[in-house]
Structure 1
Amino acid sequence: MWVCSGSPLVAELCAGSGLDWLLIDAEHSPNGLESILAQLQAVNGYPVQALVRPPVNDTVLIKQYLDLGVQNLLIPMVNSAAEAEAAVAATRYPPQGVRGVGSALARASRWNRVPDYLARASETVSVTVQIESTAAVEAVEEILAVDGVDAIFLGPSDLAASMGVLGQQEHPKVRAAVEHCLTAAKAAGKPAGVNAFNPDTARSYLAAGAAFVLVGADVALLARGSEALANAFATRDPADR
């Protein structure tokens, strides 16, 4: 599920829920370096995988996230193999990439307490790139072929917007594009995930080959749950709310 609140307490609540993985989001959520660090610390030790999404495919931001101790990155809006290569390069020290060296200052290396961290850092990092535009769908095979891209993730909301059907994540041509990418990932031997809050859609994508699915968000659960309480117990006229 998404963790968008920026709250370490909420992140910890979600981490102990029994879910497989959490996405700590900084693209559409009020998350900076300090709050991401606090949430990583809050979920550490729970049997859940944490992915973190930066707001942009940026070398400096990715360096900072990695130094914080982020191990699983979800890179948004990757539209070409070249952009995927740039994302991977940002996670690798030279000569394989362009990641700046600051391990003595970084939580990732436990401040140089992890033996041989510089040589082995890439073994601790996964890179998942988001396919969420028509250009990305057209280039999905090339993106999947990039060495260091571990997985792809489909974003039907932005994909729908890119296809001219804004807000229609269930549109047949959006569904077809998602399923095309799932098939391409299977052929490439790499896992693919998708965002699907509709339970029937989520199950359909799992049946079509999705390896992981985002099925909810902390803020959405709180919004809908609090609305349900208000509808059940509030005495005011709903028109006055």
Structure 2
Amino acid sequence: MPLRLTPTFRDRLAEASRPLFGVWACSGSPLVAEICAGAGLDWILIDMEHAPNGLESTLAQLQAIAAYPATPVVRVPVGDAVVIKQVLDLGAQNLLVPMVSSADQAREIVAATQYPPRGRRGVGNALARSGRWNRIDDYLTSAAEHVSVFVQIETTHAVEAAAEIAAVDGVDGVFVGPSDLAASMGLLGQQTHPDVVAAVLRTFEAVRAAGRPVGVNAFDPATADRYAEAGASFLLVGADVSLLARGTEQLAARYLGELDAGRASY
């Protein structure tokens, strides 16, 4: 019986009746990725841009997550055709490409994810996990069905070009990054500033008008709720490293804080 690949994130979004909520995997640990995958969230973002993830650790996390219903998405560090080829060959079916600011850039990214004649992805299917070493029937001719491509809008220029970017054939969705967007607006570190939120919401409108799903990163629950109500189809609402940092800080405050307070009373 031939092997089958899992549905793409594009497919999951098309079938969803509610926003899909996910968590950032930034630790580089397959064990932590597996813990997150088993938590019940909809998707896991394996980050190669701002986290210590290379090809080997990304592969290990894809393998760890594969045992669970959560859908893995890999954020590549840059929209480079060689990097994209390598990550796809690892078996990543869902890519997020950061810092996309124009429709031309989006078209180049799409071309890097598809085999000729539609694109320019290098052919190494017999050697790679992507087609399970030639165990997926007709993978070369159907590869586009097994790969979904999302691009990230993170600058004021990209916000203005959002409709054109979203309309590019082969772009399956747009993800808004409020952190870098805030920085490009001169509001570094102020992701929930009213002007930043307004720019995010303008992007939502442009992308949705183009018929594409739009997502966003929002660790603040109130902001995440607002974005979900405004039409976000997929959201990242936490990160493994942030959860660990805040959790251990709470432990320290609870136990060492009481100890320090007790010492101070003597």
Compute the TM-score of the two structures, normalised by the length of structure 2: 0.88
2:20 corresponding residue in structure 1: none
Q: Which of 236, 240, 264 is the equivalent residue of 1:214?
A: 236
1:46 is displaced (CA, Å) by 0.5
Aligned equivalents of 1:48, 1:33: Cα separation in 2: 20
Structure 1 segments (4+ residues) deviating >6 Å: none
2:157 corresponding residue in structure 1: 135
The yes-or-no answer on 1:43 pairing with 2:65 is: yes
1:73 corresponding residue in structure 2: 95
SS of residue paired to 1:113 = coil
The yes-or-no answer on 1:111 pairing with 2:133 is: yes
* Letter aligned with residue 12 of structure 1: E
Identity of aligned pairs, percent?
66
The yes-or-no answer on 1:15 pairing with 2:37 is: yes
Asked if structure 1 preserves the Cα contact closer than 8 Å seen for 2:163 and 2:209, the reply is no
Where does 1:1-241 land on structure 2 (aligned, <5 Å)?
Answer: 1-234=23-256, 235=259
* Letter aligned with residue 152 of structure 1: V
Aligned equivalents of 1:157, 1:123: Cα separation in 2: 32
Asked if structure 1 preserves the Cα contact closer than 8 Å seen for 2:43 and 2:72, the reply is yes
1:113 is displaced (CA, Å) by 1.1
Compute the TM-score of the two structures, normalised by the length of structure 1: 0.97
* Letter aligned with residue 67 of structure 1: D
Structure 2: runs of 5+ lacking an equivalent: 1-22, 262-266
* Letter aligned with residue 98 of structure 1: R
1:231 is displaced (CA, Å) by 1.0
1:45 is displaced (CA, Å) by 2.3
* Letter aligned with residue 158 of structure 2: A
SS of residue paired to 1:215 = strand
Aligned equivalents of 1:128, 1:158: Cα separation in 2: 17
Aligned equivalents of 1:20, 1:96: Cα separation in 2: 31
Aligned equivalents of 2:181, 2:238: Cα separation in 1: 19
Aligned equivalents of 2:82, 2:98: Cα separation in 1: 15
Structure with more contact order per residue of length (Cα contacts < 8 Å, sep ≥ 6): 2
Structure 1: runs of 5+ lacking an equivalent: none
Alignment RMSD (CA, Å):
0.9
Aligned equivalents of 1:81, 1:97: Cα separation in 2: 16
SS of residue paired to 2:235 = strand
CA displacement 1:177-232 (0-9 Å, x = unmatched):
10011111221111000000000000000111100111000000000000111111
1:43 is displaced (CA, Å) by 0.6
CA displacement 1:147-197 (0-9 Å, x = unmatched):
000000000000000011111111111111100111112211110000000
Aligned equivalents of 1:68, 1:229: Cα separation in 2: 38
SS of residue paired to 1:9 = helix
Count of matched residue pairs: 237
